[in-house]
Amino acid sequence: MNVVQVRKEFAERVLFSDISFEVGPRDHIGLIGVNGCGKSTLIRMMQGLLPPDGGYISVRPQCTIATVEQLPALSEDVTLYDFVLDAHGELLQMEQELSLISQRLEQAEGEERRRLINRQDRLMEQFQREDGLTYRAVTRSALLGLGFTEEELNKPIVRFSGGQVAKAMLARAILCKADLLLLDEPTNNLDVAAICYLQEFLNGYKGAYVLVSHDRAFLDAAVDRVLELENGHLIATRGNYTRHVELKMNEREIAARRYQQTMKEIKRIEGIIAQQRRWNQERNFVTIASKQKQIDRLKEGLVPPEKDPAAIHFHFRGAEPSGNEIIDVRDMGMAYGDKQVFSHANLLIWKGQTVCLVGANGCGKSTFLKALTGQLTPTQGYFKLGAGVRLGYFQQNTDSLNPAFTILEEMQEAFPHATEGELRTYLGAFLFRGDDIYKRISALSGGERARIKLLQLVLSGANVLLLDEPTNHFDIQSCEVLEKALDAFGGTVLIVTHDRYLVERLADRVVLLEPDGILEPEEGEGSVFDRLRVRAAEKAEKPRQESRDNYYQRQKESKAALAAAKQNVTRAERAIEKNERDQADTQRAIDEAERQGDFVRMQQLCVELGRLQAEEGTLYEALEAAEGEKTRLEKECKE
């Protein structure tokens, strides 16, 4: 794909212009930039869903592009597994044709049989070459690796939540073996283990991909080129995210130094011109004209260094000091009805510590924080807060904001003693400037709402912060500013997060919440991320452990069993036919004995007829069982 001098405008605002880059066959590209810079718009343009307002995008003929599409209308009959398996459409068609050929071969003869056998051989060779022997296992592996359970695979897709459906759509996109994958924030609904699985999968991907992400650890591991949209232009570097930052800083430093040197030279020449004018002689005017041309040439190539894009600028101020023991959790458990979320959790947090709590989706991390804030009552054990602790709680759900309020009204409601000028200053630091403060809460994006909640937390004066996925809706620059602020915060912080970059930078301790308690590895045992990565790999690899030889053996055994089942059906049908003939013959013999008056013979024949009639019921039961086994094996062979 070639993107050449592309331009896009919205409502007289230029998102970007003169954007040019190429996506090669094996390029692994990360697309980054602040919220609202046009990343998702550019991805939609690359999909062909939006036209450029200038320039063009060309795609190589026969290039297949995959992305996470809108969910089509589905019925209750479509399971999660079948929905994702549909990514292998060509293999499914080949499999159906192979099955049809096998059925037709049972009756074909002569030239027709030879033709079918040749077609079967060619198709099976292609099927094997395109990983037809393992695609079902790979599909199961992907679903398990992305966090689904075995039980959920056969659950109808329409019964899953929006986040789970998004994961299923992601699985379908990455499995379809497209030449180019376009992924917009693929890690949004994934826990750490699932992110690690996706990272490993993409590292082995044979095609190209462009992904939008604010997960810096993921970008470091998954991309070899970075494209950054900044101030309407494109900055392109080779390497991962960390290398991109280094190169970008170097370029900015060089550009700033060059700019300063040029401005210094311009001022020096302007000083010469001013001096020549004071002398006011004819030859001085010639010098002045020459020097002015020199200044004009310097200014013509002068480019001011890029300003940093808008990002959150703030710092936390803790309230009054607290005691040394901040939070003491003892044998705490939480349950919803009969469902136990977690149990026997123990955790002691000391003053000044930054503790990161990680775990799989649904393990109860948010529930744990809600218990500490008093929103939920533990169903087992207890916890206690230390002396002088004043909690500040940042949660993913921003429903507590009044949708009818403007941003300014929301802040005035939360802080009635602050002046409008003070609130404007605070809001300006959080990127709500000018008329932005009069926007309705209902019209804001998730990231904008999160910023308001975070600002309210900043102004609350808390000395202990409980943060639930604080970076979820932030762009990279805002994540970095948040990290700097937390690093400078003098109080205690407990963070629920899957942001490995944030954890590695800030955490004094990393603990893992599991169903049977909280795990904190001892020194030298490896991080909880290593454990989650290993578990995800083992879980995803399990369905793929069956080798091709085992596949052939299983197929051979299944086909042999199916052939035996068909023979059993045939034998049962023939036995029933023979029984019916024997009954008819016996009945005729009884009639003949009755005409001859041979009652002894007739009695013997009546006993034999009774035996045959009883045997008939047994034979029909055997036929029903044989047909059931045949149906089961036919389905197994198709799989």
326-337: buried (b, 16+ CB within 10 Å) or exposed (e) per residue?
A: bbebeebbbeee
Q: Are residues 485 and 580 in the same domain?
A: no
- The count of structural domains within the chain is 3
- The predicted pLDDT at position 37 comes to 85
Nearest to 169 by CA among 76, 68, 87: 68
| Boundary of a domain, candidates 541, 562, 594 | 541
Q: Is residue 601 part of a domain?
A: yes
Q: What is the rounded average pLDDT of the residues 325-346?
A: 91
- The predicted pLDDT at position 306 comes to 56
Strand order in 380-385's β-sheet?
A: 339-350, 325-336, 380-385
Q: What is the rounded average pLDDT of the residues 549-576?
A: 69
- The predicted pLDDT at position 267 comes to 82
Q: What is the rounded average pLDDT of the residues 630-638?
A: 70
Per-residue CA distances from 336 to 121, 191, 342, 397, 512 (Å): 56, 22, 10, 19, 21
Q: Is residue 306 part of a domain?
A: no
Q: What is the rounded average pLDDT of the residues 135-152?
A: 88
Model confidence at 548: pLDDT above 50: no
- To the question of pTM greater than 0.85 for the whole model, the response is no
Q: What is the rounded average pLDDT of the residues 73-93?
A: 87
| Boundary of a domain, candidates 482, 515, 541 | 541
Domain containing 92 — which CATH number? 3.40.50.300
- The predicted pLDDT at position 124 comes to 85
| Predicted confidence band of residue 604 (pLDDT cuts 50, 70, 90) | confident
Q: What angle do the packed helices 241-279 and 282-300 form, to 10 degrees?
A: 170
Cβ-contact 199, 101 below 8 angstroms: no
What region does 344 belong to: left with phi over 0, alpha with psi -120 to 50, or beta? Answer: left
Q: Are residues 70 and 148 in the same domain?
A: yes
Nearest to 582 by CA among 544, 616, 629, 553: 616
Model confidence at 268: pLDDT above 50: yes
Give, in degrees to the nearest 5, the angle at Cα 305 between 299 and 309.
145
Cβ-contact 392, 457 below 8 angstroms: yes
Per-residue CA distances from 5 to 16, 233, 507, 528 (Å): 10, 10, 43, 45
| Boundary of a domain, candidates 244, 277, 308 | 244
Q: Are residues 214 and 359 in the same domain?
A: no
What is the phi/psi pair of residue 14, to 5°? Answer: -85, 115
Q: Are residues 363 and 448 in the same domain?
A: yes
Measured CA to CA, the distance from residue 515 to residue 401 in angstroms comes to 32
| Predicted confidence band of residue 328 (pLDDT cuts 50, 70, 90) | very high
- Per DSSP, 280 falls in state -
What is the number of other CB atoms lying within 10 angstroms of the CB of residue 562? 19
Q: Is residue 189 part of a domain?
A: yes
Q: Is residue 107 part of a domain?
A: yes
Model confidence pLDDT, tens digit, residues 382-430: 999 998 898 989 886 657 788 899 999 999 998 998 888 888 888 887 7
The pair of three-digit structure tokens given for residue 548, joined into one six-digit string: 């091709």
Model confidence at 6: pLDDT above 90: yes
Model confidence pLDDT, tens digit, residues 287-319: 778 888 888 887 876 766 655 555 566 555 555
- The predicted pLDDT at position 549 comes to 45
- Mean of per-residue pLDDT scores for the chain: 83
Cβ-contact 316, 491 below 8 angstroms: yes
Q: Are residues 535 and 554 in the same domain?
A: no
Higher pLDDT, 281 or 91: 91
Bridge-based pairing of strands 28-33 and 225-230 is parallel
The pair of three-digit structure tokens given for residue 377, joined into one six-digit string: 């009552």
Model confidence at 266: pLDDT above 90: no
Cβ-contact 327, 372 below 8 angstroms: yes
- The predicted pLDDT at position 19 comes to 92
- The predicted pLDDT at position 534 comes to 67
- The predicted pLDDT at position 557 comes to 60
- The predicted pLDDT at position 4 comes to 92
Bridge-based pairing of strands 464-468 and 391-394 is parallel
Q: What is the rounded average pLDDT of the residues 150-158?
A: 89
Model confidence pLDDT, tens digit, residues 417-464: 888 888 888 888 777 888 889 999 888 877 788 888 888 887 888 889
Q: Are residues 354 and 459 in the same domain?
A: yes
Q: Are residues 443 and 414 in the same domain?
A: yes
- The predicted pLDDT at position 320 comes to 64
Q: Is residue 274 part of a domain?
A: no
Measured CA to CA, the distance from residue 605 to residue 589 in angstroms comes to 7
**Which residue range is the domain that position 580 belongs to?**
548-638
Q: Are residues 355 and 494 in the same domain?
A: yes
Q: Is residue 167 part of a domain?
A: yes
Please write down the long-range contacts of 633-639, taking CB distance under 8 Å and 24 or more positions apart: 633/558, 633/561, 633/562, 633/565, 634/562, 636/558, 637/99, 637/555, 637/558, 637/559, 637/562, 638/95, 638/99, 639/136
Length of the chain: 639
Model confidence at 280: pLDDT above 70: no
- The predicted pLDDT at position 547 comes to 42
Q: Is residue 494 part of a domain?
A: yes
- The predicted pLDDT at position 263 comes to 80
- Per DSSP, 538 falls in state H
Sorted by sequence, the CB contacts under 8 Å of residue 500 that are 6+ apart come out as 192, 195, 215, 217, 218, 529
- The predicted pLDDT at position 552 comes to 47
Q: Are residues 162 and 55 in the same domain?
A: yes
Q: What angle do the packed helices 407-414 and 420-429 form, to 10 degrees?
A: 120
Q: Is residue 311 part of a domain?
A: no
- The predicted pLDDT at position 422 comes to 86
- C-alpha 93, offset from chain centre: 28
Model confidence pLDDT, tens digit, residues 161-181: 878 888 899 999 999 889 999
Cβ-contact 448, 410 below 8 angstroms: no
Q: Are residues 55 and 123 in the same domain?
A: yes
Higher pLDDT, 250 or 585: 585
Torsion angle in degrees (nearest 10) through CA of 83, 89, 92, 94: 180
First to last CA, the chain: 37
Per-residue CA distances from 329 to 333, 344, 355 (Å): 10, 9, 14
Q: What is the rounded average pLDDT of the residues 114-124?
A: 87
Q: What percent of the chain has pLDDT over 90?
A: 21
- The predicted pLDDT at position 42 comes to 93
Model confidence at 223: pLDDT above 90: yes
Q: Are residues 514 and 562 in the same domain?
A: no
Q: Are residues 529 and 565 in the same domain?
A: no
